[in-house]
Structure 1
Amino acid sequence: MTSIPLDNTYVDLDERRRAALSEIDNAKFGWFHIRACIVSGIGFFTDSYDLFAINLVAVMLGYVYYGESNKSKLPSNVDTAVKVAASVGTMVGQFLFGYLADRYGRKKMYGIELIIIIVATIGQSLAANSPAMSVWACIVFWRILLGLGIGGDYPLSAVITSEFATTNRRGAMMAAVFAMQGFGILAAAVVALIILVAYQSAIQANINALDQVWRIVIGLGCVPAVAALYFRLTIPETPRFTMDVERKINKGVQDATAFIERGAASGNYSETEALEQSDVPKASWSDFKAYFGKWENGKVLFGTAYSWFALDVAWYGLGLNNSFVLAAIGFASDPDPYTALFKTIVGNIIINLLGSVPGYWITVFTVEKLGRKPIQLFGFGMLTVLFIILGFGYTAITNYSSVLFIVLFTLAQLFFNFGPNSTTFIVPGEVFPTRYRSTGHGISAASGKFGAILAQVGFGLLKDIGGTNAWIDHLLQLFALFMFTGFLSTFLIPETKGRSLEDLSGENQTDFVRGGAGKAQ
């Protein structure tokens, strides 16, 4: 490994910055990289567990609180509220923490979002009726707060992984972090199944035993978050933030050397010389407008934001409302509550094992070979075709063969995750300059969650027009349209494979410290 000079008289700050970044980009893949993936990945495991557990918990809540008054189902407004609440909080958290991580640092923010998740998870599991507030109001409140923490995890984990990663493994590392979402969704179903089976006799004796089951399922969601909290609070600041935002080049160089050699921060480093506050571009509203006001930069932000929006319309529209899929594969409702819940949970496990989990890991192992943009284009393209088939042939397919339907739906799940559901997370963490990297990712992710909110509200309002699930075919047709627009928006983003973060920023790196970043490369 070449040494990174620290003496101001030996080489200027600009060259030392580039040397330090080159060392990070070309470092040998080691334990710290693995640790960063694990610590970030546990957060996404927790996020998806908490987000998608409500899909199963909502069924249990229907039996406990509406066993007689509403045929053991939550009223549509209540069902929509408890499912969409976390998405609302997530959208706010993505934007807010995205900005805060660029303003105050990745390290200062990392861990705060996990504390919010832990507190909100415990609070949600203890929600109950009271004279002042209904159990639904409690659950919605805590799920909004939960979403705030989950939202913060998106830009923070993406940017921290991206800024510590080597260039030739960056996409795979980010994809591996996001792939933990699949295991989290699967774990929520497996945990629910285990607890349900353990309570079988109690449930069959008294349906209200499900009140304990859903609380345990929700409450266990905070366990992995607690396990990861210490490691998040002690993760070092990224050298890129130290050099490019705090404008402390010498400290950033030393941190980069310590990271490469020991996988840790260098500790306190005092520098009093005037050059330490170097003339690197500084984040401000006027600078933000100037940077993204250029078409070559603005189109990238629009491309990452819209493609994520289009994706989440279908991804969350289906993910939190998959009862029609379970019916198609023979896991419909049953007169016995225990049996109905058992079938619902097993059906969710089957769907995730067949398509979702494999799709994530295909991306992990191919993203550095195929590239981000080809995977996203291919995924959106295949989803467009599949939703056209499922939408316009829904009645014919379901009447002809449930096997054919589940094959097509499984392929859709596969190409969500071996496709835009992974790449829309990766690309925004790569294509913006350090001072706006977290903000850009937060804007893109929040755009996606806005699509998720529209889908969840719209799905609940539209799916039963003309009868139970009578409008499903039209919703699938709408999903096809959104997938096609996502395909088109992908042409606005660059291919990031094999390129350094500085190269992707579109800013001149030779004169960066001396204020030349605004010049075209």
Structure 2
Amino acid sequence: MADNEIKNRDIISSDDYDSKRRQALAEIDNAKFGWFHVRTCIVAGVGFFADAYDLFAINIVSVMLAYVYYNTSSLPSNIDISVKVSAPVGTLVGQFAFGILADVFGRKKMYGIELMIIIIATMASALAASSHAVTFNGILIFWRLILGIGIGGDYPLSAIITSEYATTARRGAMVAAVFAMQGFGILSAAIVSVITLACFKSAIIADTLTIDYVWRIVLGMGAVPGVVALYFRLTIPETPRYTMDIELNIDQAAKDITDVLETGAYEERDNSQPIVKVEAPKASFKDFCAYLSKWENGKILLGTSMTWFFLDVAFYGIGLNNSFILEKIGYGKGTPFQTLWNISVGNIIINLLGTVPGYWFTVAFVDKWGRKPIQFMGFTILTILFIVLGFGFNAIKDKSIPLFIVIFTLIQFFMNFGPNATTFIVPGEVFPTRYRSTGHGISAASGKLGAIIAQVGFGALKDKGGIKGSNAFVPHLLQIFAIFMFAGLLFTFFIPETKGKTLEELSNEDQKDFIRRK
């Protein structure tokens, strides 16, 4: 930040707090990308790494549980669905609840609480055991539900904190980079599984029950990144936008901006100093309804919620039930060790082929192309790919395995270089500060509702018309996913392009005289 910018802000009349606010916001929006921005992305991203690890590790762990507790390669369908859906159900609750709480109590006060929930629930899941009062399945499902609440809280908080600290020019890339850590989290779950299986190989071959050690280690390792990031989460400063627009403390926000942009550090507040309060639009249920009653605002929430909902139906429908994909790429079932090894290695291959690269293509292009072009592109290509795979499923999988792998890889790639990333980015940009976290939480919870529907529906319908494990109905499910992708494409018209615009411009509220001196 240039010295003359600081001097210009300092000579602003103490009564002109509206101008002082706009000057402070301009400093954030136009700041040079520095260490504080990198640190913010890392602190937020580590949490998403842990979130994805914990959510998707269950894809591998559920097979381990089946061998330990049922002496077979798959859990009973009702148990399998319950174990896999419990975390998404908790995530939905956490997204909605923490979205509101972060607007009411502040980003800083809530940030870290959700990570503590994740750490505790992860360790409790790894140590789950049956008792006289509660079955093992009941204990595991309970702690997976609690885990989901913590994971859900991470969505609005990480997105909003990153967005409110980001520069206008790099905001999309920063938020996308945080979300992209999901790819590494999913990949790491499979890598940890491979390493642990290799360590226990001889023991597993001698006694299948040894797998009980393996699944506990795989789940428990998910707490490690959370522990690493916890201190930094608890000490991250409140965002200046929240301080200005909700705490109504312009002077403190201006000082916080100077601290983080000049030194990359944050100084604790001096509560002995007098606070000059200002007046600004206040959050309330009545005001929230009035804001959304305007079509220009209401359609945006509808767009962010429905596009996320439609995307997650397909994303989680495939992501947590990809055993039929693994079989087709040569990583099917065998002995217990071979089955688990193949699932773990197969997941590494799948994620390296499409998932991880897709996330980082979004990081590279989101501030150049814009959010809507990438989302339109993603939904369009996904619609086509699901139509091709859905109607040609049996012919492709039986006669052209390379084509099958290519199509599946492209689906993974364009989900992440497409709507899976942009549906996370846009809700953190398009709402005013007092409802930004709430709007993101509602949008994210809508997506998780789609994930739950996909999990229950996929699990209940995939073998319809055939024997268990036949995946007879999968072609029709893929066709249904194509319809959802096309619906997501249509609802993308409801969201604005956010590239190059400040958060205040995107709020659809006049910023001149936005605040007044009391």
TM range (shorter): over 0.9
Distance 2:132 2:14 in 1: 73
- What aligned pairs does 1:25-36 form with structure 2 within 5 A after superposition? 25-36=29-40
SS in 1 for 2:279: coil
Distance 1:272 1:294 in 2: 40
Distance 2:166 2:122 in 1: 31
Superposed CA deviations along residues 214-242 of structure 1, whole A, max 9, x for unmatched, are: 00000010001000000000000000000
| 2:459 corresponds to 1:451 | no
Say which of 461, 465, 475 aligns to 1:473.
475
| 2:184 corresponds to 1:171 | no
SS in 1 for 2:225: helix
**How far did residue 256 of structure 1 move?**
1.5
Amino acid at match of 2:438: T
Amino acid at match of 2:294: K
Distance 1:448 1:179 in 2: 17
Query: CA 1:272–1:340 in structure 2 vs 1: closer, same or farther (change >3 Å)?
Result: closer
SS in 2 for 1:5: helix
| 2:84 corresponds to 1:80 | no
Aligned partner of 2:92 in structure 1 is: 91
**How far did residue 273 of structure 1 move?**
6.9
**How far did residue 434 of structure 1 move?**
0.4
Distance 1:16 1:159 in 2: 23
SS in 2 for 1:246: coil
**How far did residue 7 of structure 1 move?**
6.5
Amino acid at match of 2:387: I
Q: Are the equivalent residues in 2 in contact too, given 1:87–1:453 (CA < 8 A)?
A: yes
Dislocated runs of 4+, deviation >6 Å: 271-274
Q: Are the equivalent residues in 1 in contact too, given 2:28–2:167 (CA < 8 A)?
A: yes
Q: Are the equivalent residues in 2 in contact too, given 1:359–1:414 (CA < 8 A)?
A: yes
| 2:388 corresponds to 1:398 | no
Q: Are the equivalent residues in 1 in contact too, given 2:12–2:20 (CA < 8 A)?
A: no
Amino acid at match of 2:265: A
TM-score by length of 1: 0.96
Distance 1:422 1:267 in 2: 34
Aligned partner of 1:342 in structure 2 is: 341
SS in 1 for 2:480: helix
Superposed CA deviations along residues 313-351 of structure 1, whole A, max 9, x for unmatched, are: 0000100000111111121111x1111111111111111
Q: Are the equivalent residues in 2 in contact too, given 1:311–1:483 (CA < 8 A)?
A: yes
- What aligned pairs does 1:49-198 form with structure 2 within 5 A after superposition? 49-67=53-71, 71-198=72-199
Q: Are the equivalent residues in 2 in contact too, given 1:332–1:343 (CA < 8 A)?
A: yes
Query: CA 1:502–1:271 in structure 2 vs 1: closer, same or farther (change >3 Å)?
Result: farther
Superposed CA deviations along residues 145-186 of structure 1, whole A, max 9, x for unmatched, are: 000000000000000000000000000000000000000000
Distance 1:174 1:9 in 2: 35
Aligned partner of 2:227 in structure 1 is: 226
- What aligned pairs does 1:500-511 form with structure 2 within 5 A after superposition? 500-511=502-513
Aligned partner of 1:212 in structure 2 is: 213
Unaligned runs of 5+ in 2: none
Aligned partner of 1:294 in structure 2 is: 294
Superposed CA deviations along residues 69-89 of structure 1, whole A, max 9, x for unmatched, are: xx4320000000000000000
- How many residues are paired up? 510
**How far did residue 267 of structure 1 move?**
2.8
Amino acid at match of 2:321: N
| 2:16 corresponds to 1:15 | no
Distance 1:484 1:10 in 2: 53
Superposed CA deviations along residues 365-419 of structure 1, whole A, max 9, x for unmatched, are: 1111110000000000000000000001101111111111010000000000000
Q: Are the equivalent residues in 2 in contact too, given 1:64–1:72 (CA < 8 A)?
A: no
Distance 2:111 2:294 in 1: 31
**How far did residue 514 of structure 1 move?**
3.3
Distance 2:365 2:273 in 1: 47
| 2:421 corresponds to 1:422 | yes
Q: Are the equivalent residues in 1 in contact too, given 2:428–2:440 (CA < 8 A)?
A: yes
| 2:314 corresponds to 1:314 | yes
CA RMSD of the aligned region, Å?
Answer: 1.3
Distance 1:422 1:159 in 2: 15
Unaligned runs of 5+ in 1: 516-521
Aligned partner of 2:409 in structure 1 is: 410
SS in 2 for 1:489: helix
Aligned partner of 1:519 in structure 2 is: none
Distance 1:88 1:158 in 2: 20
Amino acid at match of 1:426: I
Distance 1:159 1:332 in 2: 41
